[in-house]
Structure 1
Amino acid sequence: MKYFALFALLTGPVFADGPVVENVMVSGDRFSVTLSHPDTGWDHYADAWEVLDTDGNSLGIRELLHPHETEQPFTRALSGVKIPDGATVVYVRARCNVDGWSEDLFEVALGD
């Protein structure tokens, strides 16, 4: 029985690298976000990114509807993001369909 426990520890879940926000461009209410993720197909891929205010409130989510295993990194845009008056910074985070939302936040300084 002790060999089974050791085997279970050695063969536990393997976590792949999470999605990474590589770059963010902002033009008015339009965010263009470049992500990288080791997509393997429909079983594991980056499936969204989100703009957050400094309190962690969602300002907009861009759903990604298919894997991008042959297009890395890749850029997708979202228009209509409503930035609170007076905000000087927002954050972007990414999600994959296996590991969920990344804890890493990409800081975006907003110009005047």
Structure 2
Amino acid sequence: MHTLYKISFLSFVSFFYVNTLFAGQALIEKVIAECNHKRVCKFDVTIRHADEGWEHFANGWKIYSSTGEVLGYRALAHPHVNEQPFTRSIRNVKIPPSIDTVILRANDSVHGESDRKYVIKLKFTDY
């Protein structure tokens, strides 16, 4: 029984540490990518952030290649204090032929780019 308490305590500490580590940063929760045969994509990105107003809010997100090249950027022009999580889109993102997986990272006005990344494998239509 004593071992069970240790495991529970360690699980709690790990959960608390990870959540504290990323506290305040914008988090990408979901991405839907629609890509055509010309390798042009639309991304619908759902972000969660504890927006506090103009002083601290999620202010954008970027799409990267695996080598760090910025393929797209979506600015967010205002706080979403009472709208969490929220989804915004970017269209006409051109994906080079050598790329089939992209990385997305959210930004906020205080912490800058989040340490958390969202990786998605793209599927392109045949028509």
TM-score range for the pair, normalised by the shorter chain length: 0.7 to 0.9
| TM-score, normalised with respect to structure 2 | 0.74
**2:62 maps to what in 1?**
50
Please list every run of at least 4 consecutive aligned residues from structure 1 whose deviation after the TM superposition is greater than 2 angstroms: none
Give 1:48's aligned amino acid: G
| Residue 90 of structure 1 pairs with residue 102 of structure 2 | yes
**2:92 maps to what in 1?**
80
**2:47 maps to what in 1?**
35
**1:21 maps to what in 2?**
28
Inter-CA distance 42–16: structure 2 relative to 1 (3 Å threshold): farther
Displacement of 1:16 in angstroms is 4.5
Give 1:102's aligned amino acid: S
**2:116 maps to what in 1?**
104
Displacement of 1:86 in angstroms is 3.2
Give 1:81's aligned amino acid: V
- CA–CA distance in structure 1, aligned partners of residues 120 and 23 of structure 2: 26
Consecutive unaligned residues of structure 2, counting only runs of 5 or more, are 1-21, 36-40
1:4-56, CA deviations, whole angstroms, 9 ceiling, x for partnerless residues? xxxxxxxxxxx942000000001121001000000000010000011000101
Q: Which has the higher helix share?
A: 2
Identity %: 40
- CA–CA distance in structure 2, aligned partners of residues 16 and 70 of structure 1: 18
Count residues with an aligned counterpart.
Answer: 98
Consecutive unaligned residues of structure 1, counting only runs of 5 or more, are 1-14
